[in-house]
């Protein structure tokens, strides 16, 4: 009968160390050959893509963006999603991640600012002499918004309507969308007569136009903070964040219609 082979005792420590090294490579922070992943609010997509397009030539790094509502992305980060950088459309969700130690506190900075507007399909001829005329028109049909329960654009929209004392009359007219770009799409397809979105969103589609601009004092300031994600703040991720807050990054946001001075 053939006898089984027994490893020499002197080889066992070497094999054990090799296994630890292998297992270490399969978990933990992002590897150097992985792209730097930016989780960014849907409203920032054009600006963020313009910055990420420079990653290879400026930094020699591969980068990618993932876009959704700030709330959705924050919850995914809490759930362990592999995000290296987070860009929110409001301070609330950044504070949530900061307070629960999911972002690097010293890396948090405000990139830009935005404003809230009412849009209609581009063929619309509506105009308003007063804010009361606007509210009466909004009450006549459906209004596409980000869900006010968690989407920043929807939260700002609710604050605005509450400030105007129009929330009770208009709450039932809202089409609550998963993010602000979904609200934009509904209006661009003519499925809603109106939408409340960011000013920068209106410039993305030729199928909509701005019909009213809300006063900024009707809602909390619209700010876009950025931060490195805790545990994934590699040198590569920090370099990409620095590119966002550099002149290159701020120019990209300005070109997309954001207010970088207000930020």
Give me the residue label for tokens 């994934």. Answer: 232
Same domain, 157 and 231: no
Among 120, 118, 74, which residue's Cα sits nearest to residue 100?
74
- Structural domain span for residue 240: 36-113+222-255
Give me the residue label for tokens 């420079």. Answer: 54
Q: Around Cβ 17, how many Cβ atoms within 10 Å?
A: 10
Residue 191, domain member (yes or no): yes
Same domain, 201 and 242: no
CB 249 within 8 A of CB 111: yes
- The pTM (predicted TM-score) of the whole model is 0.82
Same domain, 48 and 64: yes
Same domain, 74 and 204: no
Confidence tier at 261 by pLDDT (50, 70, 90): low
Same domain, 71 and 43: yes
Same domain, 180 and 123: yes
Tokens encoding 152: 């920043």
CATH code at 177? 3.40.190.10
Q: pLDDT tens for residues 112-163?
A: 999 999 999 999 999 999 999 999 999 999 999 999 999 999 999 999 999 9
Same domain, 169 and 104: no
């Amino acid at each position: 009968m053939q006898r089984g082979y027994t490893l020499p005792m002197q080889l066992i420590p070497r094999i054990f160390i090799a296994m630890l090294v292998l297992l270490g490579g399969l978990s933990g922070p992002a590897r150097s050959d992985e792209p730097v992943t930016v989780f960014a609010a849907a409203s920032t997509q054009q600006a963020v893509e313009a910055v990420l397009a420079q990653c290879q030539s400026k930094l020699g790094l591969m980068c990618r963006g993932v876009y959704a509502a700030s709330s959705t992305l924050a919850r995914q980060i809490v759930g362990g999603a592999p995000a290296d950088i987070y860009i929110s459309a409001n301070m609330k969700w950044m504070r949530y991640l900061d307070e629960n130690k999911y972002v690097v506190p010293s890396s948090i900075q405000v990139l830009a600012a935005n404003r809230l507007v009412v849009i209609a399909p581009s063929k619309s001829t509506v105009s308003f002499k007063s804010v009361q005329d606007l509210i009466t028109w909004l009450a006549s049909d459906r209004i596409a918004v980000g869900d006010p329960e968690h989407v920043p654009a929807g939260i700002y929209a609710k604050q605005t309507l509450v400030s105007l004392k129009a929330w009770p009359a208009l709450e039932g007219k809202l089409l609550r969308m998963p993010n602000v770009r979904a609200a934009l799409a509904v209006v661009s397809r003519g499925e809603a007569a109106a939408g409340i979105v960011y000013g920068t969103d209106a410039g993305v589609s030729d199928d909509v136009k701005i019909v009213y601009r809300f006063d900024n004092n009707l809602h909390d300031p619209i700010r876009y903070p950025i931060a490195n994600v805790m545990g994934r703040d590699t040198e590569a991720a920090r370099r990409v964040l620095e590119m966002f807050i550099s002149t290159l990054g701020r120019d990209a946001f300005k070109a997309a219609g954001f207010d970088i001075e207000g930020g």
